[in-house]
Every structure is written in C-alpha cells, then in structure tokens.
Structure 1
Amino acid sequence: MSFGARAFVFIVYFVLGLSFLAVPGVLFWEFGPEKALTFAAFDSHLFLFFPTLGLVALAAFYVPSCAFVDMYWRHVSFGRLRFLIGLVVLGAVATQIAFGLSANPHRSVWDIKPATLVTDKSEPAGCSDAGKPCERIALLDGVTNLTHVSQRRLGVREFFRSCQAEPLIEADTAEETKRFCFASTPLTDTPRLSTDAECCQAQRRYQSAIDRLYVDPTQQSITGRIHKLLLPSKVFFLFILLAISVLLTLRHSGVKRHYPDQISRIELSVIVGAVAMIFFPLMSQGYVQSADALFGVQQKGGFRSIVTLMSFLFGAWAMLLLLFSFRQHDQDLELAAKLAGVAVSTIAVVKYDLLVSIVVRFLGSGADTLSIALLCGLALAAVLVLLSPLARRVVVGSEKQPHPGRA
C-alpha cells in the first residue's frame, strides 16, 4: 500500500476520532463528572459508544480502508474519479441525515445549560416536599431517578405507559395497577405510585419543559451545540463502514490479489470491527428503552424513529462481513461459520428484548463507574492491539510474513 493512501486514511480517521472524543469531553467539562456520567450513561449510544467502541472500529477498519483507497487510486478503472464522487456523495448524504436528526423538536436534558438545570424545580413549587403529587419533577431529578432505578433492575420496560386508548379493544374494567413514574415522583423507599394517565401527563410536561427552555438560545448548553455541529461526522463514519463492507464483499478477489500480505490482518480487523459495531444498535435500543420510560412511548421522531430500521441494517451489514471473512477459507469452515451466524442471529431475534435490557443495565442508563471504566479499558487495549505491531505480536503472536516473490 502506498504511503499516500495510508496518510490520507490516517488523517480522515484521526479527525473522526477527535470528533468522537470532543463531545463527551465537552460534556464532562461543562456539567462536571457526576452529572456527566448520568447523561453519558443515558445517551450511551452517543457519549460512551463513539469514544470507546467507535474508536475500536476506526482502528479495525484502518487497514481495509487503506487497501481500498490504494486500490481505487492505482488499480481500478476510473478509480480516482469513482472514489472522489463516492466520498462526496457519502458526505452529502451524511450531512443531510444529520441535519434531519438535529431538527427533532424534542431535546434531551443535557441540551440545557447547567445553570438553568440547577435552578429548575418541580412543578408546582414545593410539591415533592409537601407530599403531594407533582405535575412534573425537576429535570435533573427525572434523569437521576432513571439512573438509580436502572442500576437496580434489568431493564425498565415494565415502566412503559400506555398513553393512547385502543379503540378496537375494550378497556379493562379492573382496577389499574399503579407504577412509579420517573417524570413526576421523587425516588424514596416508599414512593407515590401513579396511574398511566397521571404519568403520561407528567411525561408530556417534563418533555415540554425541556423543549420550551431549548427554544431560547441563551439556555442551550455548549455540549448540545458541539454535538449538533459534529453529528455529521458520526453519520459519515457509519456510512464509511457500510461502504467498506459492501466493497469487501464485491471486490474480495481484488483485495486478495493486490494485497496478499495483508489479507490475514484485514480478516482479523474486520471481525474485531464487526464485534465492536454490533454494540451500536444494541446501545441505541437501550437508549430508546430508557427514553420511553422517562419521556413516554407516545413521542416519536428524531433518532428514536429510525433505531429499528438501523438495527435491521446492521444485521445485514454483519452478514456481509461474515460472507467476506470466511469465503477465503475451505467450504467446511465457510459453511460452519454461516450456520453459526444464522444460529446467533436467531437467538438474538428471540431474546432481543433481554439483550437490550442487559445493555441498559451495564452499558446504558444503569451503567456505573465500574462498567464504564471496564468499557474504556477494553477499548483502549483493542485499539493498541490493532494499531501497534508490538502489542499485536504479544497478543496474537508473530504475523505471517509475505512470500519473498510477492509484491
């Protein structure tokens, strides 16, 4: 591979990596460690995935990306033109999608600046102290409620509320089971429990309070502005991985022919990258589960509306990588890998809710300092192994040397 191809990919991925680190860095600087950890766990698909597993994926796909840049630049007909057009198209589409996601009228608690959140109180004033129900709880207290409950349970689906009557099903005349409501009630040993109607109203008031404050630019957090500015880089990163996966499948023979000395490393990197990236849809689903418990399932639009489709696309993406990784080997191994992939996919579909609930507990709103530190440590180790020849030799042994007669 040429030095120019490696330098180009390094610069692009280095800039992407900085953008992944910038948003959580600003979050911790602006809100302080305690509140930042709460927000980072709640929106773990943004604040935990990208600076950890996202960096692992960047490191894993570095060599495959270098191979394709070099191949299109030197070995593919009209490759330079096709490469530049593809890059521009991906960037334009990523920017358009990012703008669409940012246009969502519903905002998160961390979109409001810290000083405003500190002064925000439950409504009506003094409701929690007087023992009477609140129309909506203070914004910081609501997300803190969710964190504490998520750390005690496996998922929070049981706190979902039915906020719309079903006209085709007769209403149950039995007395409704009351449950704790994150958006209206302080968390105590014996909290007041709410009906669905009461909690749905509180959830609407809670979200409306955030949205009303966000309309005023002076109330917006720096973190929210930086996130909006850098969101296109995250979407672009996801498109790049999708493009590489398609090319790995369609042009596997070209990769093997032009870069035979790198094929084993590419295969290993692709598998590691796929394992890292599969956590993105899981953490996104975990965020949706937490958001539905806090803000209500009736709210649609924005990122939450595309999570299901995105999870399906990631499943197809993983199958593409599986096809590439094992088509180089003998038929028995390829068949075994495909059967294993089908089995794992079937289990994931049947037990998907359980998987998401586990993610909510350890990598979502229920994540504690230990689980976050473990995630960061594993991600750092993976990046070092992927990028450092010395670390790779220690972990996987000496790499295969190319045949002397090969270019």
Structure 2
Amino acid sequence: MSLGARAFVFIVFLLLGLSFITVTALLFWEFGLDKGLTFATFDSHLFLFFPTLGLVALAAFYLPSCAFVDLYWRHIAYGGLRFLLGLAVIAGVAWQIGTGLASNPHRSVWDLKPTTLDADASEPAGCGKEGGPPCERIKLLSGINGLRDVSERRLGVRDFYRACQPEPLIESTDKVEPRRFCFASTPYSEKEPPHLSTDDECCKAQKTYQKAIDDLYADPAQQSITGRIHKLLLPTKVFFLFILLAISVLLTARHAGVRKNYPEQLWRIEVCVLVGAVAMIFFPLLSQAYVQSADALFGVQQTGGFRSIVTLMTVLFGAWAMLLLLFSFRQRDHDLEIAAKLGGVAVTTIAAVKYDLLVSILQRYLGAGAGVLSVATLITLAIIAVAVLLSPIARRVVLGGDNETGANAP
C-alpha cells in the first residue's frame, strides 16, 4: 500500500476530524459548560456523535480507505481519473445537501448568541408565576432546560407529543382531552405542581416558541458564532457520510481486487469496516433521539429540514449495515460467517420490534437526558477505540497482543 495513498487519506480524514471537533469546542467555548452541555445533548447527533463516534468511524475506515485509494490509483484502468471524478461528484452533492439543510428556516436555541438568550423573556411579561397568567411562550432557555430536566428523570419524552393536526377522518373516542405538561409554555419545577395544557394551548405555544427563535435569528447581530460555523462546516459532515458509504460499497464490489492486492491486510480491513459500521449506526439512532426531543419542545407540526429525512436515513443506514455484515467474513471460517450473519439478523429484528424503546433509551442516556457521566464515558470509550484502531502499541496494551495477520500500522 503506497505512502501517497496513506498520506492523502490521512490529510482528508484529519481535516474532517478537526471540523467535527471544532464545532463542539466552539459550542462549549461560547456558551460555557452548563449551557453547552444542555445544547450538546439536545443535538447529540451533531455535537456528541461526530467528535466521538464519528472519529471512531474515521479511524476504523482509515485502512479500508487507504486500500480503496491505492487500489484505484495503481491497479484499476483509468482508476485515478475515475477516483477523482467520483470524489468531485460526492463533494458537489454533499455541498448541495449540506447548504440545503443549513438553509432550514427553523433554527435551534444555540443558533442565538448567549447575550440574546440571557436577555430573552417569557411572553407576556410576568407569566408563568404562581397566580399569574399562563405563558404564550416560555423563555427560550427555560424551555430547553425544562426538557433536559424532565429527560433526566424519564425514559423518553414521547408522552409529551401533541396532536396539533387531528385526523379529520377519525372521531376521537376520548370524552375528556388529557392535559399534559408543555415545555414551550410552562417552567418546570420540582417544588410546585406544574400547569398542564391542552393540545391546542400547547401547539400554539410551540409555534410561538419556535417563531421567537426564528425572528431573533433573522437579525445577523443576534446569531451565535457556533451557529455560523456549524452552517459553514455542515457540508463536511454530509461529505463524510457519503465517503463512508462509497468506500463500503466499492470495497465490497472490489472485494476480489482487495483480496488479491492486500492479502496480508484483508482481515484488518474487514474488521475495521465492521467496527466503523457499528459506530455509524448510532448516527441515525441519535438523530431519532433528537427528533423525539425536538417534537416534544417545538411540536410535531414542523415539516422540512433535517427532521423530515431522519426516518428514511434510518432505514438506509440499517440496510447499509446489514449489507456490510452479509459481505464480511465471507473468506473466513464458515461457522463464524453463519454466526455473524445470524447474530446480525437477530439484533436487527429485536431493534425493529423495540425501536421506540431503543430510541427512548438513547434519548435518556445519550440525548437530551444525558449527564456528565454518560458524556464522559462516551468520550473515554471513543478515545480508547481510536487509539486501538490506529496504534499498534495501543492494540498491544489494550488487547494484550497484535497477532492478526499483516497487522501493520495504519
């Protein structure tokens, strides 16, 4: 495997990794530890996944990517030209999708700068207090803080979804509409009994809450640095997802060429692809956890943007992971192959049946309800995984040896 291929992949992956870390680091620098943790866990698919499991996926796909680049550059007719054209197409598509997602008119609380959030107040003035009128919408920071407080104490927040668009073809069988806590209109407190709202009241508050964010964001002077850099670097995240998809598909399609030209590294390549797939499957799951939190806070009536593609993305990621599993280990022990594939089918079936429960668990421990311990554990495991994947020394320390065939340093 040529030094040029390794150097090219290293530089590209290094830039991607730095972009992942930069946005999350900016979030904590700009908002501080307390607010930063609240925002990072609410949007954990952005601020927690990419600088942890995203880096694990980069490290896992480093060796397969080197093999892919070297294979096309040295062993395939017109491979260099085909590789560069494919890379340009992926970059162009990623740019279009990334800028499209970044142009979503609905913004998040962290898109507003800290001074703007601190100066914000509930509407109307004096609402939400004991004996006072109910709020048309709560203070922006109080809303997202209330969601975090409740998420830390419950397994998921689906119970707080509102039917903002009732089905006109189905008559409701409920004689009395149940009143529920509304994050967009009511401050959360453990000491006082909360004001409970009807669906209609909460849906109006959710629209007003989101509109307050969007109206403030319309003034460039009120926009956060984190939000601006996130919009600028969002195409790199999309590019990363497409690159991993392309590498997985093409290495599978070119498996004979990889086996012929890199026999000593084939085992590590296959294992790295599977490790990367396991890390990446958390992205759609954390995205679903984000949608659960966002629907409870902002309402389920919103359309467009990232939330509209999460379900489709989850299905595609599941199919992608299953394809990787089915095409891996095919040159290995037959019993191991059968066990791996049956295990994958079993896990997929269980996940499909208990999908809502799985998303609620992630929303609690790696989403809006995640605490310092959960985040610290995730970071620690990610650091260990990256070290083991990239360093032969770390593999010997952690795994007690490096006996795999052709285990060269990446």
TM interval, shorter chain, is over 0.9
Q: TM-score, normalised by structure 1?
A: 0.97
- How big is each residue's C-alpha offset from its partner over 1:150-197, in whole Å with a ceiling of 9 and x where there is no partner? 000000000000011211011345111111000000112311111101
1:295 aligned residue (293, 298, 311): 298
1:319 Cα deviation from its structure 2 partner: 1.4
Alignment of 1:6-405 (within 5 A): 6-129=6-129, 130-172=131-173, 174-189=175-190, 190-396=193-399, 397-402=401-406
**Cα displacement (A) at 1:331:** 3.3
Q: Which runs of 5+ in 1 are unaligned?
A: none
Cα distance in 2, alignment partners of residues 156 and 217 from structure 1: 33
Tell me, yes or no, if the aligned pair for 1:248 and 1:321 is still in contact at 8 Å.
Answer: no
- The 3 A distance-change label for structure 1 pair 266 and 356 is same
Is the 2:121–2:139 contact (alpha carbons within 8 Å) kept by the matching residues of 1? yes
How far the C-alpha of 1:296 sits from its partner, in A, is: 0.2
**3-state SS of the aligned residue for 2:169?**
coil
Shift of 1:401: 4.7
Q: Which amino acid aligns with 1:111?
A: D
Letter in 2 for 1:3: L
After superposition, give the CA deviation of every residue in 1:233-266 in whole Å (9 maximum; x if it has no partner): 0000000110011012111111111011111211
SS of the aligned residue for 2:295 comes to: helix
CA 1:179–1:5: 2 relative to 1, 3 Å: same
Q: Secondary structure, in 3 states, of the residue corresponding to 2:107?
A: coil
Question: Residue by residue, what CA displacement relative to the aligned partner does 1:215-242 show, whole Å, maximum 9, x if unpaired?
Answer: 1111111100000000010000000110
Query: Structure 2 counterpart of 1:205, which letter?
Result: T
TM superposition shift of 1:58: 0.3
Letter in 1 for 2:229: I
> Are the aligned partners of 2:111 and 2:223 in contact in 1 as well (CA < 8 Å)?
yes
Retained in 2: the 8 A contact 1:24–1:40?
yes
Q: 1: distance between equivalents of 2:305 and 2:406?
A: 49
Write the letter of the residue equivalent to 2:114.
Answer: P
Whether the 8 Å contact between 1:249 and 1:323 is mirrored in structure 2 is no
Whether the 8 Å CA contact 1:248–1:324 is kept in 2: the answer is no
CA gap of 1:267–1:204, structure 2 versus 1, over 3 A, is: same
- Contact 2:134–2:186 under 8 Å retained in 1: yes
Unaligned runs of 5+ in 2: none
Distance 1:357-1:402 versus aligned 2 partners, 3 A rule: closer
Q: How many residues of Structure 1 are paired with residues of Structure 2 in the alignment?
A: 403
**In 2, are the aligned partners of 1:148 and 1:366 still within 8 Å (CA)?**
yes
Contact 1:5 1:66 in 2 (8 A): yes
Query: Deviations for 1:270-327, whole angstroms, at most 9, x for unmatched residues?
Result: 1211111111011000000000000000111100000001001101110121123221
Q: CA deviation at 1:126?
A: 0.7
Q: CA offset at residue 128 of structure 1?
A: 1.9
Q: CA deviation at 1:382?
A: 0.3
Hey, what's the Cα distance between the residues in 1 that align with 2:137 and 2:308?
25
Q: Are the counterparts in 1 of residues 265 and 405 from structure 2 also a CA contact under 8 Å?
A: no
Give runs of ≥4 in structure 1 deviating > 4 Å. Answer: none
- Aligned partners of 1:253 and 1:97: how far apart in 2? 33
What letter corresponds to residue 178 of structure 1 in structure 2? R
Q: Match of 1:261, SS? A: helix
In structure 2, C-alpha distance between the alignment counterparts of 1:126 and 1:171, rounded to whole Å: 36
TM-score by length of 2: 0.96
Work out whether residues 145 and 182 of structure 1, in 8 Å CA contact, stay in contact via their aligned partners in 2.
yes
Q: Secondary structure at the match of 1:167?
A: coil
How far did residue 402 of structure 1 move?
4.5
C-alpha distance in structure 1 between counterparts of 2:402 and 2:352, whole Å: 38
Q: Tell me which amino acid in the other structure corresponds to 1:266.
A: I
The secondary structure found in structure 2 opposite 1:184 is: coil
